[in-house]
Structure 1
Amino acid sequence: MAKGLPWVRVAPDSPYFVTDDGRPWHPIGQNDAITWPELQGLFRRKDLAAVDRHLDWLASHGVTCLRVMMEYAQGENRYLERPVGHFQPNMVRLWDDFIALCERHGLRLLLTPFDTFWMWIRWAKHPYNRANGGPCSARNRLLLCRGTLDAIKNRLTFAVERWGGSGAIFAWDLWNEMHPAQMGDASTSFGPVASELSDHVRLLEMRLYGRAHPQTVSLFGPVLQSHPDVADTIFRHPTLDFASTHLYADGTIDHPRNSVDPALAVGELVREALGHAPADRPYFDSEHGPIHTFKDRKRTLPEVFDDEYFRHIQWAHLASGGAGGGMRWPNRSPHILTPGMRRSQQSLAAFMPLVDWADFRRTNRNHELRVLSPSFRGFACADGRQAVLWFLRVDRLVNRSRMVDPDAPALSVVAELPGMDEGRYSVTAWSTRDARIEAEWEATSRDGLLKLETPPTVTDVALAVRPAT
């Protein structure tokens, strides 16, 4: 397998990512699955050419990363192992092909070893169930059972030995949505399980390759409310490299009634996450979307609304201090992102060079930012020398569409950002919809306060702030 794609690592001087050759790298992408329309041609090599064209198209639209589960247990023919310990040749070849294609197009994968949602729902069918010859007597003991933990590590060993030398692997999500329900409804084993899986993978990679891919353990975000102690593992575990949660806020993100409230929820949740994590540890949302609308209410959001909902969440995530724009779970029929969402990702990717991410030690400033224009809400992260801001119109929602009125009169946003070093700054205003620079000017910070006034804006605008040269 080709190994030409540089590996990704946590930046040494900021809570973001860089490649081994020192270039900033951002996780811009979404969740995908080997059974969903755009990747289904991988199985049994039914249409590798179509997958190849799709990955090329993604790369040309600024996508850098896909989060994918190594098996998808909604049906009976995408198990990676069956029986336990026997890796199915068709699935192994699928992953050989997929990783080689990602290498070709410069795309990277956030890999997680199990589809824990369908594993739980269809436990009666899963090969890890003792009734089917597996090691585990009950699904609520998945992460307590010694035989199951050994089988999980064996799967990770297989993946590391076969594919871990590739730069197409961005990182390992060692366990998708670790949950107390998998541990007898208790959270006391979060830390020990994360340690065991993390140490196993890292030691193996160091022995084989002399380096290790970044690691995380993801969490269904609402678990933080019921079991706040899990924050020690998810955000602060000493052997994990970055933090990731799944932002499914009830009634806003999971079932949006307008395109503004989900963005406001993301801003608060990212601020909360950054408050949990060490200052030098990257954080991003690795799964979000209108899951309640789609899964429980059996409804796909109108495309034009979903595009705006997606774009707003993406910029709220970035401007609040998350790495990249968050990773959508499609929750649409068909189960793919829309062309409008891809344009939003392309806009985000084009914005990235405006910031020196490798030297950006951001903190969240959403609450500290003072927006003096009541028609807008602001999101910001900064470190005293640089800042990323996003202003969203909140006073002109169209009743029928529940979207920001594109025909509203344009207004300038006046805001004050405290905590900036004294001096002159270069400010770039970015149109998130049109993917272009709207204006550039200089502003001065005095007494630690940077005053900003944007060009007239109808719906939203992003700002990149750097020291003037």
Structure 2
Amino acid sequence: MKRLFVIILFLAVAFSGIASFVKISPAGKYFEHNGRAIVPVGFNDAITWPSLISLSYGNKEAAEEYFEKLSHYGVNTLRIMFEYAQDRSGLSLFESPLGTYNDTVIGIWDNIISLAEKYNIYLIITPWDPFWMYENWDVNPYNADNGGPISTMAEFLTDEEALEWQKARFKFMIERYGASEQILAWELNNEIELWYGHIFYKADYSVGNEARKWIEEISTFIRALERDLYGETHLLTVSTAKPALTGILSGKLYRFDHIDFFTTHFYFDTIKDPKDPIKIAEDVVMNINYHNYLFNDSIPFMDSESGPIDRWPQPSRFDTACYKAFSWAHLASGGTGIGMRWPYTSPHLMPDYLLQVLKPISQFIESEGIDWLDFSGINLDNEIIISSDKDIFHTCSGNSFENLTSVIGWVASKETIGNVVIKSSALDEGTYLLEIWSDSYERDVDSYILGSFKFDSKDDFSLQLSIDQSSFAYKIYRIES
């Protein structure tokens, strides 16, 4: 029966033409699908959280209301683990014992894929939930005590029998869901250096070698299977628990012969236990700049998990300020999208006050002016200068150093900004439009543009503005050569 399903699926794809999966955009910083840019705006979700739990008992209507709500706020990307191992009963595991698949989880994912396609939301899917696998190892199906192949998770990347079970899981996922063009990427593993390595005190050299060999084995298997079934492959990525890798681990894992882009988890102290939104923005920009320098601004790089893990829930107003600072700093400094927050709320889902942060960002991205397909997101903090008599934070990025014709940026202060001066001598000659954007949610607002200013750029330009709020975003783009 399973083989018949695969044949029918393959014939359906062949009849409708070769699949058109998400690719990396021409400039290398974002993604594209059928010629349209994807700048990820979204967060982490889970099949057992209140947002999606209705699917576990067949209530697709509630889940559809949720997806419709996400679409309203401008969400276009969700990162979801294929199973969730927190429940010790195993009800949300994909298989238990290994090889025995959970019809409930399959039904949940049938509906998630269907809703993602209907509401044009892209998915980053990772097959395991290693934090809760580790916490609940005594009841996990990979545990030898439960009939599995290994005695500890330290063997997960190296045991040959475990590897075959892992491939079988990917095979099921690819055969059943791999035709979907809403899958932005398979995230091969979550926090790969931690849960199979550092938590067991393995040296970086061992962790790096084991992880790299595993990535090569799994990615080769996936790409061969997808090319056979669909004629092309989805993007592949991996995440690390560390915000930034250095030394041996950097040399082993920051290589892109077997994956297409990289994500890390921005759990800096300023983010884990937040006290100042501006400090959050500073650490986000630092990490984006570090990785874009290492990767030469040539591949996507993004946070795929972050939030106040050490102290939550936060008061809603303060949490909103922190999330706004993180999201705008991530995008404006040259990161791929806004990062993917883990909720850290009670109940555990993204509440409206956090979703409202995303609406102006989505409008900022979707409006005219910036060609995101050709936007490299090169940091320009030293080329676009914003001065004020207030203490301000500013970060920005542009399409190019050599032929700079478009810029995005974000400015914030702990008080109303008032008068600011924007200066630069880096823009190519031409006529430009400067747009000032509100970054604060307003209900039933069609445009968050506060004002626009036309100017000519010769050798340099200088514009003085008055800003009656504590933060704003901006675009600068050429309208005539």
**TM (normalized to structure 2)?**
0.87
Q: Are 2:223 and 1:214 aligned? A: no
Deviation of residue 360 (structure 1)?
1.0
Name the CA shift for 1:344/1:34 in 2 (closer, same or farther; >3 Å). Answer: same
Q: How do residues 164-179 of structure 1 correspond to structure 2 at under 5 angstroms? A: 164-179=178-193
Q: Deviations over 1:119-166 (max 9, x none)?
A: 111111110111111111211222122222222121111101110001
Q: How do residues 355-370 of structure 1 correspond to structure 2 at under 5 angstroms? A: 355-370=370-385
Q: Are 2:311 and 1:293 aligned? A: yes
Give the aligned residue type for 2:276: N
Aligned twin of 1:34: 47
Aligned with residue 463 of structure 1, among 450, 474, 477: 474
Name the CA shift for 1:188/1:367 in 2 (closer, same or farther; >3 Å). Answer: farther
Give me the whole-angstrom Cα distance separating, in 1, the residues matched to 2:407 and 2:238. Answer: 28
Aligned twin of 2:260: 241
Name the CA shift for 1:391/1:40 in 2 (closer, same or farther; >3 Å). Answer: same
Q: Are 2:159 and 1:139 aligned? A: no
Aligned with residue 120 of structure 1, among 110, 118, 134: 134
Q: Is the 8 A contact 1:129 1:136 kept in 2?
A: yes
Q: Are 2:397 and 1:381 aligned? A: yes
Aligned twin of 2:410: 390
Q: SS at 1:38's partner residue? A: coil
Name the CA shift for 1:415/1:101 in 2 (closer, same or farther; >3 Å). Answer: same
Structure 1: where are the runs of 5+ without partners? 295-299, 397-407
Give me the whole-angstrom Cα distance separating, in 2, the residues matched to 1:181 and 1:159. Answer: 22
Give the aligned residue type for 1:424: T
Q: How do residues 318-333 of structure 1 correspond to structure 2 at under 5 angstroms? A: 318-333=331-346
Aligned with residue 51 of structure 1, among 60, 63, 66: 63
Between the aligned residues of both structures, percent identity stands at 32
Give me the whole-angstrom Cα distance separating, in 2, the residues matched to 1:451 and 1:84. Answer: 65
Deviation of residue 318 (structure 1)?
0.3
Aligned twin of 1:403: none
Give the aligned residue type for 2:420: V
Give the aligned residue type for 2:151: S
Deviation of residue 349 (structure 1)?
0.8
Give me the whole-angstrom Cα distance separating, in 2, the residues matched to 1:7 and 1:58. Answer: 22
Q: Are 2:88 and 1:69 aligned? A: no
Q: Are 2:378 and 1:371 aligned? A: no
Give me the whole-angstrom Cα distance separating, in 2, the residues matched to 1:324 and 1:234. Answer: 22
Give the aligned residue type for 1:458: Q
Name the CA shift for 1:181/1:118 in 2 (closer, same or farther; >3 Å). Answer: closer
Give the aligned residue type for 1:420: L
Name the CA shift for 1:423/1:178 in 2 (closer, same or farther; >3 Å). Answer: same
Question: What is the root-mean-square deviation in Å for CA atoms of aligned residues?
Answer: 2.1
Q: Is the 8 A contact 2:73 2:355 kept in 1?
A: yes
Query: What is the total number of aligned residue pairs between the two structures?
Result: 445
Aligned twin of 2:249: 230
Give me the whole-angstrom Cα distance separating, in 2, the residues matched to 1:58 and 1:156. Answer: 28
Aligned with residue 267 of structure 1, among 277, 280, 285: 285
Deviation of residue 463 (structure 1)?
0.9
Give the aligned residue type for 2:29: P
Give me the whole-angstrom Cα distance separating, in 2, the residues matched to 1:274 and 1:90. Answer: 41
Q: Are 2:164 and 1:150 aligned? A: yes
Deviation of residue 53 (structure 1)?
0.9
Q: Is the 8 A contact 1:242 1:283 kept in 2?
A: yes
Q: Is the 8 A contact 1:429 1:454 kept in 2?
A: no
Deviates more, 1:149-158 or 1:27-36: 149-158
Deviation of residue 381 (structure 1)?
0.8
Q: SS at 1:187's partner residue? A: helix
Deviation of residue 6 (structure 1)?
6.0
Aligned twin of 1:60: 72
Deviation of residue 23 (structure 1)?
1.1
Aligned with residue 437 of structure 2, among 430, 441, 455: 430
